[in-house]
Structure 1
Amino acid sequence: MTDVMGRVAALSAALDCGAPWLPPEAVKNTRDRMEHVGHRLDLGTERTVVALVGATGSGKSSLFNAIAGMDIAAVGARRPLTKSAMACVWGEFGSQSLLDWLKVPADRRMTRESVLDADDQAALHGLVLLDLPDHDSTEVVHRVEVDRLVRMVDLMIWVVDPQKYADNALHAGYLQKLTSHDGVMLVVLNQVDKLGPDEVETCVTDLRRLLDGDGLGRVGIVPVSATRGDGVEELRALLCEVVQDRFAVLERIESDLDIAAEEIAAGLAASEPGSGQPVSQEKLVQDLAAATGVPALLDVLSAEHRRRGKEKLGWAPASLLSRFLASRRPQAGAAETRLRAETASLKALASPAQRPAVRLAVEAMVADNADPLPTRWAAEVRAIVARAGDPAVSPQDALLPAAGAASAGRARSSSGASAVSQGRGRHTPAYGMPMLTPGAGTSEAPDPDGLARVLDTRLTAVDLTFTVPVWWRVVQAFQQIFCGAAVLGLVWVVAAGLGQAAGLDLPGVLGSLPAALVLALGSVAAGLVLALLSRWWLITGDATRRSELERRLHEAVAEVAAERVVGPVRSVLARHRETRQVLLGERSPSAGPGASPESQPSNAAQQGAGTEPVAALSS
């Protein structure tokens, strides 16, 4: 029982977590099955509901009477006139609520045991045997009633006759659709009294072939003759074993839950891209940076940095000559000044031509993460990213909330059937989360260029201010010193040369022409060497500055990508992962993340130890 309750809780939690993005038909069917399971568990497992299902003329009613040991159901031409099931109950106590749930009319209920039976019927105590209308009846109400009860009973006994056991209406209409319930099904070949021994064996062999072809290899076959009594006692013994072991109720519930889990799993991927971590994140940042013109901006800033460096760090005489020549071109100088001012304040603003590149970069990353998911989940990834790109939407509001966040520490009862029945007729989220609608958001269509505008704003705020390095000022000072020394040396050379030409004897070192030449030429050489070294330092410094500016700009782009693209994608992947893990039992819906439903002992497994499917009991 605990195992069944755990599976019900897991299915409920999976629906709470991912219902808006699962196939609607699968969600509806699963909720219906869970409601059915809740009702059936409320009614207890002490009684086993067995239904005789068959076509017109198969002898269901005769077999029903033979099992009961008394004439209860009408046999013959009047049989198709009834549209309701007939019930025979062994042990009346507690059966009325079960029959009410099955909607068996009060006037069609029969209690089999009486004081005259002594203990003859004790072995079948707890059996509720139903004789259903013909599943091939021309009356629609008959077929509707059969379909309804087939979904509700614990054990189905399909009664066939030698003439119509291969009828396609039986195999295609019912048996092939019930392969998941082969553990609670049995086929009875009735009317074998009309066949010889070899013919019975031939029919059973052919029927076995048909059932195997239907995918019902576990379903057993019992040949009987309701009129002559052949095989009836064997069938009664089999029903006694089923009723006493009480495995059919839980086996049927397990089959229903298996089908529900398969339908839900069909709306989920086998795994999430990147194990739940969005893939192509680095490529997204690179593509967005390229789309917003970051590389071009870096080239412009780098070129401006080198131009200013050459202007400030060049050889002093050359710099003076350059400024002199520039001063002779006032109009060109003014235009250049304006261009430099615009370049200095340039920011990476995505132009209209670049904005499609932003959309393409986002779509490429979204496709890598959405395409491996089922259609509805993939659509939610795209919808939530589109909403997140709206500058008016807070990044936090664009995220899909984690399903288990609201109740990670809240304990849930998993003992007793009442825990399921409390939610019957409505959907009570296991995590207390509100129901979400896929793609829910603002009624207006998202702006396709909203993300580009967010990037514009964020990149504009990046500090790209250039501060003149200290070493530039030091180099400028030394260049001025070397320039002054060269001028002084040149004056000295001229003075010493004129003195020698005039025959004047200048005192001390002032009259030394070699000393003057050394000062003049040495200062010029020192200035040139320093200019060359400064050029190398400028290239190195430019690379460092470019790397720092690139880091700042890429951080701004990465921050926007994380908030507006990666975060929303991750929230959808996390919701999908949680839905899948809860459904598969990798995460406990009651004990919180990381717990495993298998860690607790299964009472149902202990109660069912030693029991086998119906097929194994009827070789």
Structure 2
Amino acid sequence: MTDVMGRVAALSAALDCGGPWLPPESVQKTRDRMEHVGHRLDLGTEHTVVALVGATGGGKSSLFNAIARMDIAQVGARRPLTTSPMACVWGELGSQTLLDWLQVPEDRRISRESVLDADDQAALHGLVLLDLPDHDSTEAVHRVEVDRLVRMVDLMIWVVDPQKYADDSLHSGYLQKLTSHDGVMLVVLNQVDKLSAAEVETCVTDLRRLLDNDGLARVGIVPVSASRGDGVDELRTLLADVVQDRFAVIERIESDLDIAAEEIAGGLAASEPGGGQPISQDKLITELAAASGISALLDVLGAEYRRRGREKLAWAPAVWAGRIAASRGRSAGAAEVQLRAETASLKALASPSQRPAVRLAVEAMLADNADPLPERWAEQMRTLVARAGDPSVAPEDALLPGAATMSESPLRPVSAIGRAEQSGTHTRGRHTPAYGLPTLKGGTAPDPDGLARVLDSRLAAVDLRFTPPFWWHAGQVAQHVLGAVAVVGLLWMALYGLFDAMGQELPGALGTFPLAVAAGVGGLVAGLLLRLFSRWWLAGGAAHRRDELQGRLRDAVADVATLRVVAPIRSVLARHRETRQVLLGERAPSDGPADHPQGAGRADDPPQEKSGEPVAALSS
């Protein structure tokens, strides 16, 4: 019973977690089965409901009377047209509520036990035997009643006769649809008194073949003769064992839970892409960066760095000559200086992102992550990513919320679930969406090019300002010092030449001519060497500057990609993963992924279990 309650809890948790993205018809069927299981568990396992189901003239009512050892049901090839089942109860105490649930009319309920034969019937104490209307009746209401009770009873005994055991309405209309319940079914071949022993063996062999073809290899066959009594005692003994062991109730419930779990599993993928972690993230960032024109921007910034460096570290004589030339041609020089100043002060901005390239990059990542999922999950992922790309939507509003408080649902199976909670079994027993759905305020359609505009805005906010390094200033000072030394040396040499032309000698305090040559020529040569060395150093500085700016810009693109694309994808994968893990028993039902704020839980984080052991909703 504990395992059953654990599976009920796991199914309930899986519906809570993934219900909105599972096929609606599967969710509804699962809810109906869960509600049925809850009611059946509430009614207890003290009674086992066994239904005799068969076609007109198959001897079903005769078998009903033979098992009860009383003439209860009217017998005949053409039975009275009744839309209600007949019930014979062994052990009436506590059975009335069960019969009310089965909707058996009070005037069609028979208590089998009496003071005179209580000991004779003790082995069947707890049996509720139903004689159902004919499943092949021409009256639709009869078939509806049979269909209703077949879904509710604990054990189905299909009564067939040698003439109709191969009837297609039986096999395709019922048996082939009940393969999941082969553990709670039995086929009785009635009227064997009309056959020879060899004919009975032939019929049983052929019936076995048909059942195997229907996928019912586990279903047993019991030959009986209700009129002569052949096999009836053996059938009563079999029913006594079923009633005493009470396995049929649990077996039927587990079969219903199997079907419910398979319904849910049909709306899930076998696994999540990337093990639950969004794949192709690096590819997305690279493609978004390319679409944003970062490479061209870096080229511009690198060129500006080198231009400013060359201007700052220019050879001093060339700088001075340029200034003299500018002073002589004032208008042209002023315009050039102004243009250079404006160029130097410009703050480079990212070029507008290429809208189609951005859309293609996002669509490629969605194809990798959404396409392997079932349609409704994939559609939700695409919807969230579209919402997240809209600048008017906050990124957290485009995620599957992960920490919402669970609310009670009117569809909760009644006290059966309550008993599981009291016994410490994990269960929520709720069938409403566990964590809510993100909604787009205003009801407007997402902007298809919104992500490109978000990228433009984010890249424009990146600080690309540049402060010249200290070595630029030191190099500039050195250039001017060397230039000054060269000028002094050249003037010194000129002074020597003037005095020599006049036939006079300079005072000794002014030094020698070689020293003047060394100062003049040395200052010029040293300035040129420093200029060449600065160019080499500028190349290395430009590469470093490019790497630094590339990191900033790529980080900006990565931030947008993570918040606006990866996070919505991760939230859907995390929800799908939790639903699948709860269903398979890989994690215990919880109150929601509270440890993953905003629903963007990491797939590689270990599941947080409250207590106890997880139980699989799907049977192994």
Equivalent position of 1:333 in the other structure = 336
State the Cα deviation string for residues 183-238 of structure 1 (Å, max 9, x = none): 10111111111211111111111111111111111111111111111111111110
1:348 matches 2:350: yes
Equivalent position of 1:150 in the other structure = 150
| 3-state SS in 1 of match to 2:271 | coil
Equivalent position of 1:16 in the other structure = 16
Residues 297, 317 of structure 1: alpha-carbon distance in 2 compared, 3 angstrom cutoff: same
| 3-state SS in 2 of match to 1:130 | strand
Give the deviation of 1:318 after TM superposition.
3.0
Stretch of structure 1 that moved more, 104-113 or 394-403: 394-403
User: % of aligned pairs identical?
Assistant: 70
Structure 2 Cα separation of the partners of residues 435 and 210 of structure 1: 48
Paired letter, 2:101: W
Gaps of 5+ in 2: 422-426, 593-606
Equivalent position of 2:66 in the other structure = 66
Equivalent position of 2:393 in the other structure = 393
| Contact 1:586-1:594 within 8 A present in 2 as well | no
Equivalent position of 2:518 in the other structure = 518
| Contact 2:326-2:334 within 8 A present in 1 as well | no
Aligned pairs for 1:193-342 (under 5 A) are 193-322=193-322, 328=329, 329-330=332-333, 333=336, 336-337=339-340, 340=343
Equivalent position of 2:134 in the other structure = 134
| Contact 1:191-1:224 within 8 A present in 2 as well | yes
Equivalent position of 2:609 in the other structure = 595
Residues 172, 338 of structure 1: alpha-carbon distance in 2 compared, 3 angstrom cutoff: farther
Equivalent position of 2:597 in the other structure = none
Structure 1 Cα separation of the partners of residues 97 and 308 of structure 2: 94
Equivalent position of 2:506 in the other structure = 506
Q: TM-score, normalised by structure 2?
A: 0.89
Structure 2 Cα separation of the partners of residues 271 and 323 of structure 1: 72
Structure 1 Cα separation of the partners of residues 467 and 443 of structure 2: 48
Residues 180, 18 of structure 1: alpha-carbon distance in 2 compared, 3 angstrom cutoff: same
Give the deviation of 1:433 after TM superposition.
6.2
| Contact 1:123-1:240 within 8 A present in 2 as well | yes
| Contact 2:273-2:369 within 8 A present in 1 as well | yes
Structure 2 Cα separation of the partners of residues 94 and 323 of structure 1: 112
Stretch of structure 1 that moved more, 439-448 or 300-309: 439-448
Structure 2 Cα separation of the partners of residues 460 and 601 of structure 1: 52
Equivalent position of 1:610 in the other structure = none
Residues 188, 491 of structure 1: alpha-carbon distance in 2 compared, 3 angstrom cutoff: same
Equivalent position of 2:567 in the other structure = 567
Give the deviation of 1:50 after TM superposition.
0.4
Give the deviation of 1:577 after TM superposition.
1.1
| Contact 1:407-1:431 within 8 A present in 2 as well | no
Equivalent position of 1:615 in the other structure = none
Gaps of 5+ in 1: 606-619
| Contact 2:405-2:435 within 8 A present in 1 as well | no
Equivalent position of 1:184 in the other structure = 184
| Contact 1:35-1:421 within 8 A present in 2 as well | no
Structure 1 Cα separation of the partners of residues 44 and 290 of structure 2: 67
Give the deviation of 1:334 after TM superposition.
7.0
Residues 390, 420 of structure 1: alpha-carbon distance in 2 compared, 3 angstrom cutoff: farther
Residues 414, 587 of structure 1: alpha-carbon distance in 2 compared, 3 angstrom cutoff: farther
Residues 213, 360 of structure 1: alpha-carbon distance in 2 compared, 3 angstrom cutoff: same
Across the two proteins, how many residue pairs are aligned to each other? 591
Over aligned residues, Cα RMSD in angstroms? 2.8
Give the deviation of 1:20 after TM superposition.
0.6
Structure 1 Cα separation of the partners of residues 82 and 453 of structure 2: 72
Residues 358, 211 of structure 1: alpha-carbon distance in 2 compared, 3 angstrom cutoff: same
| Contact 2:188-2:222 within 8 A present in 1 as well | yes
Residues 115, 372 of structure 1: alpha-carbon distance in 2 compared, 3 angstrom cutoff: same
Structure 1 Cα separation of the partners of residues 180 and 348 of structure 2: 68
Residues 166, 334 of structure 1: alpha-carbon distance in 2 compared, 3 angstrom cutoff: farther
State the Cα deviation string for residues 247-297 of structure 1 (Å, max 9, x = none): 000100000001100110111111112222211222222222221222211
Residues 365, 418 of structure 1: alpha-carbon distance in 2 compared, 3 angstrom cutoff: closer
Q: TM-score, normalised by structure 1?
A: 0.89
Give the deviation of 1:440 after TM superposition.
6.3
Residues 582, 228 of structure 1: alpha-carbon distance in 2 compared, 3 angstrom cutoff: same
Equivalent position of 2:418 in the other structure = 419
Paired letter, 1:259: I
Structure 2 Cα separation of the partners of residues 31 and 441 of structure 1: 31
Structure 2 Cα separation of the partners of residues 230 and 315 of structure 1: 121
Structure 2 Cα separation of the partners of residues 420 and 397 of structure 1: 38
| Contact 1:10-1:589 within 8 A present in 2 as well | yes
| 3-state SS in 1 of match to 2:336 | helix
Structure 1 Cα separation of the partners of residues 86 and 361 of structure 2: 67
Paired letter, 1:333: E
Structure 1 Cα separation of the partners of residues 402 and 610 of structure 2: 19
Structure 2 Cα separation of the partners of residues 186 and 46 of structure 1: 21
Paired letter, 2:355: R
| 3-state SS in 2 of match to 1:210 | helix
Structure 2 Cα separation of the partners of residues 349 and 432 of structure 1: 47
| Contact 2:588-2:615 within 8 A present in 1 as well | no
Equivalent position of 1:445 in the other structure = 445
Give the deviation of 1:78 after TM superposition.
4.3
Paired letter, 2:418: A
Structure 1 Cα separation of the partners of residues 614 and 415 of structure 2: 15
| 3-state SS in 1 of match to 2:445 | coil
| Contact 1:49-1:129 within 8 A present in 2 as well | yes
| 3-state SS in 1 of match to 2:156 | strand
Give the deviation of 1:7 after TM superposition.
1.0
Residues 126, 438 of structure 1: alpha-carbon distance in 2 compared, 3 angstrom cutoff: farther
Give the deviation of 1:74 after TM superposition.
1.1
| Contact 1:384-1:439 within 8 A present in 2 as well | no
Structure 1 Cα separation of the partners of residues 45 and 190 of structure 2: 29
Give the deviation of 1:510 after TM superposition.
3.9
Equivalent position of 2:596 in the other structure = none
| 3-state SS in 2 of match to 1:304 | helix
| Contact 1:160-1:187 within 8 A present in 2 as well | yes
Equivalent position of 1:617 in the other structure = none
